[in-house]
Structures are given as structure tokens and as C-alpha cells.
Amino acid sequence: MAVALAIKDPNREKALIQRRAISFFMLTVLCVGVLVARFVQLQIFDHESYQSRSDKNRIQVQPLAPPRGLIFDTNGVLLADNRPSSALGIVVERVDEIDVVIAQLRDVIALSDDQVERFREAQKRTRRPGAAVIIADNLSDRDIAALAVNRHRISGVEVITQLQRYYPEGAIAAHAVGSVRRMTERDLQEQDKAVYRASQFIGKRGVEAYYEQVLRGQPGFQRVETDAHGRIRKVIDIEPPTLGQNLTLYLDARLQQAAVEALGARRGAIVALDPKTGGVLALVSKPSYDPNQFIIGMSDSEFRKLSESVYVPLFNRATNGQYAPGSIFKPIVGLAGIASGAMQWDTEIDDRGSFRLPGGEREYRDWSWTIDNAGGQGLVDLRRAIYRSSNVYFYDVASRLDVGYLSELAADFGLGKNLAVDISEASRGLVPDAEWKLGTKGEKWYQGDSVNMGIGQGDLLVTPLQVATYAAMLANRGKIVRPQMAQVRDRDRGNEIYPTQSSQFARLTHDDWVNTIAAMEDVVHLGGQGFRGNGTAWAYIGQDISYRMAGKSGTAQVVEIRQGEEYNEEELSEFRRKHAWFMAFAPVDDPQIAIAVLVENGGGGSSVAAPVARKVLDSYLDSP
């Protein structure tokens, strides 16, 4: 059977090819038309919108942190500086897996668990989108080189060059100058975000905190062009930040160093003021700490060591330590007796070593009392009572005074107040009275409370800063200057000397001030009279002295000693021993410096605190 073969029709094949070609051509034209239409839409109708989006991806506005103002001492010594530093930051928005990036970084540089933990905490804080979150500060040159080599494989990281606060004096001036700290979430909520948008640190203590608005400056910005990896390729324009203002303090760095050395390894505080201006010449609190640690970063264990130490190095004893003043309070008691008319300068009592209130059984003892010897200072008037520090005399005076009158005069000397111009965090201390006791303890005021207050004990509390102010007021014969750290004039707060508007002071004559100062001179310079005649500090500091000093020592008990028991310091633990005080000013005729020295749990004021004060005054007055 024969098979029929199909014969192709050329005309039909040609027509088919033509139809397919026409269809393909039309499809191509349609596609090209769509592309042209889309192109027209993008380039003409939506041009501005897409250009804006492109610029947002390509161009960034970055805030620029202002350099913080510098802080100098009165002689131009730099106390707070800015130093360039490199930090490593991660832009979270440019990272898919944070843990992966951190692992990659740990292969390149050393990152501690503490640094990673701080980074994770910082991530949670309010911040500007696209801003880098710091994970490592103070990169070394080796770290920077290693990051540069490996940057192509680690996305979202930036090496940021910044100015970082640095304190050249370290622990020596930490409590005087204060310090900056890294901003917290609370800081960001409380402060103006526009002002702090580029800042990582804020003044937290001392001068740095009080003058934050002066020192911080104003931020600037720069517009930069970046590549797909976020790296800056070109700076388009820049508005530089405004530098913070510099500050000059009254503080004398040389005197500050001398005060630190004079206090040695002991715990305590020293405050020195210029009686003419109120300028703080020295402010020492020991033990201290290095404020640079809070800037470069420290481990949790290092911070716990500081914050949990029984010696509390972070605590500013000079402005916030509150202590019973002991015998340095006695000149105020004496002046209160004079101003009230309860006694005269020549009023005498026979100090036989103890005092009892009329009809009372409790015996109030002199500091010289022992079990074997009643002690006492013999026949004393007010001048002798001051330079011999007769407890019995001031027990007697205080028992005659209304406590309200004594408290008011103490307040006129700045106790129970914060008179400082620019130390806002300074504690107020406590000057108790009948109203305070009733409101706080629910008890009435007893005459025995006044007796205790007469020798600076009981509930009375003062700070070293207040004692230095009190000494300056004595040096000024009843005129006051407000303590001030920075040499900044403020018409509303002024730091000029002004007369105290106290009715109690108005009752004191020029001779009362002269007699008080003469008695305090005797504390230091009266010697050769035997044990019961010498000034209490003469044997310790009054010999071979080239200037005239007026001073008063004080020894404040920390624990109560029961009737009939003798104070045995060796049997007490360290923190239960007596505090040693000494306040002074010099030279007497033209006071240049007033000082307060506290040695915590140090023992006797004359034997321990007075030599410290003498070293500081020598350094200031005898140096060329």
C-alpha cells in the first residue's frame, strides 16, 4: 500500500512566519512603550519624589558634638581637657543580625562581656535613627588598623573620632572639679534632645554639673554623601558646632596638691577659702577616685569595688559629709552668750572637770577628765575657755541660753544652710532646736540637749565646707562671703562681701570679734605656761611659725560614753573613733586664707588635724 507524502505549501508557511513576526514586533513595541511610559513617569512626573528618596539613601545629615569648654585653676593650670579618641560604633539599622556582627568584631579586636552588655543597654535608649551605638571606646592604633583591614566583611560598623573629656589631675581634684558621665535614658528624657543629639556625656558632679549649660556648647551638623555600605564618600556642607565656654576656678592646683599630701593616707576633708572673695582655694575629700575611669570605661567588678567600698571614695566628704563639730562650735556658743547678755568676757567659773545641771544627777565631763583625775581648767573666763577649750565653761553658758537663740546665731554663721554660690549639691547639715526635736523625734527639748550642744555634740551636724565658711566669717569680723568655685560674676547671686543682716550679729561689737580672734590666736601661739596654761594647739603647731594664725581645734565623739566610763580609743573599731577637727585663718591682721580640716576617726583635733592645717597654710603663705 503506497503512503501519501504531505507536500508543504510555501505560501502558507510564509504567511505563518509573517503573522508571528508581526505579533513579536507588536509585543516588542508594547514592551518598549511600557518602558518608555515608566521612564517618563520616573524621570518627569515622579522625578522630585524619587530624587528625594535617592538623596535620603545617599545623603545623610549627621550631628556634630561641640567641644566642651576647658576648666582651668586660678593660675591657668588645666584641670579639665578634651583629648581626641577613637570609638567603635554599630549602626543598628544597617545590620541584619547584631549577634553575628558582634561575633565578627570579636574575631578582630578584644571585646569584653561588659562592653557587649553596655552596648545592648545603650541600644534600648532613645536615640536618633541611623546614629551609631558605641560598643568600644579608646581604640588603639592596632585596633583601628585591624578594623580597616576587615571592614569589607563586617557591615554596619563605624570608627568614630571624637573629643573625650580628660582630667589631668585625676584623683587629686576629682571632688573639686567634678566629672562628666555617659548619658543615661533618664538624661535623654530630661534634657533638650536638640542640644544633646550628638553628645554622649553630660556633667554629673561638681563644677562640671553646675556649669553644664556654660561648658557644653551647641551642636553643629554636616551633610555627607555615603555609599551603599554607609561609608562617607564626600562632605557636602557643614555647620560647625559652637564651642563651650572655658571656666577659670578660684582653685589653686598647687595648694590642692599640698592639701592632699598633708592629709596623707587618712580619711577626711579639707576646704580652704579666700575670705575676701569666697573663692574655694582647695577642696579635698579622701579617699578619692580617678574620674577618667568613668569616661574610658570600667568593668562591673571595678565599679563595684568603688561603689561598695566601706571607705566610700565616691562620696564628697568636703561638701556632703555631715559630722558633729565638737569644740570648734565653742566660739559660736561664747558669742551667743555675749550677744544674749547671759555673760560677759570677764565672767569666770571654776572648772573642776565636770558640770551638773541644778538638781540633776548626770555629770557632764571635761575633755581632760580621766577615772584617776577629774581634770578641769581651773578658774576660766571666756578667752581662756576658748584657748583651753573648757567643756565645763561652755556647758554652763549653753545651760543659760535659750536654744532658739543659739540655733539662730549658728544659722547666721552658715550652719544648717547652703550658702555656696555654685555648689548646689552641698548638704545643709543640721542645727537642732525645740521645734525640730518635737517634729522629728516627738520629744520636747531638755536642758541637757542644750548642754550637749554647748560643746558641739548631740544632734548638731556640720560639713567641712560650712566650717570653712564659718572660719572665713570670723576672719572677716562678722562679714560673709559665699563660697564659690568659678570666677564668674552673677548680679543675682554675687560673690562680693556683704554685711550679715543678723539681729544677733548686730548685738556684737567690734571688740567682741577682736576678743574672739585673740582667744583663737592663743589656741595656736600661747605657750610656755605649762599644761593648764598653753593653747591646746601650741605644742603641735604653734612653734617656729612665721605668721600669726587664729585657730580652734575640735574632737567629736562618734559613740556615747556612759557615766563613769573612760574613753579608750584603742578598744573601739576604726569607724567608732573620734573625729578630729581644726579650723583656722591667717594671717590674723590681713586674712588671706580660711581653712577647715576634718580627719575622720582620727583622734584629737590639736594633735591630728591641726598639723594638717599648718602644712596647708605654710604651703600657701610661705611659698614665693
Q: Which three cell numbers stand for residue 269?
A: 576633708
CA distance 128 to 136: 19
Is 327 marked active-site?
yes
Nearest-angstrom CA–CA distance, 589 and 239: 56
88's enclosing H/E stretch is strand 78-90
Q: Which of 483, 488, 485 is nearest to 214 (CA)?
A: 488
Q: What angle do CA 236, 241, 246 make, to 5 degrees?
A: 155
Contact (CB, 8 A) for 197 and 317? no
Would the CA dihedral through 537, 540, 542, 545 be positive or negative? Answer: negative
Q: Which three cell numbers stand for residue 577?
A: 573613733
Residue type (1 letter), 422: D
User: What count of other Cβ atoms lies within 10 Å of the Cβ of residue 229?
Assistant: 11
| Ramachandran angles phi, psi of 82, nearest 5° | -120, 130
Cβ proximity of 138 and 295 under 8 Å: no
Encoded amino acid at 498, one letter: Y
Per-residue CA distances from 306 to 136, 309, 516 (Å): 22, 6, 43
3-state secondary structure 263-297: HCCCCEEEEEECCCCCEEEEEEEECCCCCCHHHHC
H helix count then E strand count, the chain: 24, 21
Pairing of strands 220-226, 59-64: antiparallel
DSSP code of residue 249: B
> Choosing from 86, 179, 199, 327, which is the catalytic residue?
327
| Maximum Cα–Cα distance across the chain | 163
- Between CA 83 and CA 381 the distance in angstroms is 61
- In what helix (H) or strand (E) does residue 221 lie, and over which residues does it extend? strand 220-226
Q: How far apart are CA 282 and CA 268, in angstroms?
A: 14
| CA 524 – CA 551 distance, rounded (Å) | 6
List active site positions. 327
